[in-house]
Amino acid sequence: MPRMTVNDRPVEFEMAPDTPLLWALRDAANLTGTKYGCGTGDCGACMVLVDGAALRSCLVTIAEAEGRFITTIEGLSRDRSHPVQQALVAEQAIQCGFCTPGIAIAAAALLQGNANPSEAEIKAAIPNLCRCGVYPRLVRAIQRAGRVARRVETISAAPPPGISTEDAARVVPALRPAQATDGD
C-alpha cells in the first residue's frame, strides 16, 4: 500500500500500485480540485506538485509517488491567499475554471524557482491547455503573482481570503427599471 504525504498529511492508499495518482487523489482522498481532462498528460488539468515539481497526476502512479510530498490545489492555500490564486482573480484570468487548478499549480512551481519570469519563460513553463483562451491574461497574472511574491506589489482587487461560502454565493437582486406611470 503506497504511502505519501498529501497536503502535509501522511496518507496510505489501499489501491493497486499502478493506479494513477489522479484517481487516488480524487476518488480515495476526495481532493477533487485536481481535474481529469485528457488522461494522456496533454492538457495539464491534473497538475499537482510532487516534491515541488509540477507533474501531471494522470501520468504518475501511486507506486511512483510513494514516499513523496504531494501538493494539490487544495493544499496550495486553504484560504486562497497564495499570490497565484490572488493574481488569477485580480487579472480576470479565469473563465470556466476547469483548467485553473492545474494552471495555478504550474505557475506556483514556476514562481518557486523564478519569482520574476519573462513572458517566454511563463509560456515555456505553463503547458496547460485552456479552451477559453485566457493566455494573455494568464501571463499578466503570473507576472503579477511574481511581483506579489517578491513583495513589490500587493493585490487588493481579489476577494479577501476567508470569505464565507454564503457570502461568495450571495446573489444581488437585479436592479429593476422604474415603473412607468400613465402620465409619462
Buried b / exposed e along 68-94 (16+ C-beta atoms within 10 A): bebbbbbbbbeebebbbbbbbbbbebb
In 47-164, alpha helices (H): 73-76, 83-90, 100-113, 119-125, 135-149
Rounded Cα–Cα distance for residues 95 and 162 (Å) = 22
As its CATH architecture, domain 3-76 has Roll (3.10)
Report the 10 Å Cβ neighbour count for 8. Answer: 9
Q: Picking from 2-11, 55-64, 83-92, 161-170, which range would have the lowest pLDDT averaged per residue?
A: 161-170
Residue range 105-121, pLDDT digits in tens:
999 999 999 999 999 99
What are the residue boundaries of the structural domains of the chain, listed by start?
A: 3-76, 83-159
The topology (CATH level 3) of 83-159 is: DNA polymerase; domain 1 (1.10.150)
Residue range 7-60, pLDDT digits in tens:
999 999 999 999 999 999 999 999 999 999 999 999 999 999 999 999 999 999
Q: Which three cell numbers, joined as nine digits, stand for 86?
A: 490572488
pLDDT band at 183 (very low <50, low <70, confident <90, very high): low
Q: With 0-12 CB in 10 A as exposed, 13-18 as middle and 19+ as buried, what is 124?
A: exposed
Q: Quick one: average pLDDT of 58-72?
A: 97
pTM, rounded to two decimals: 0.82
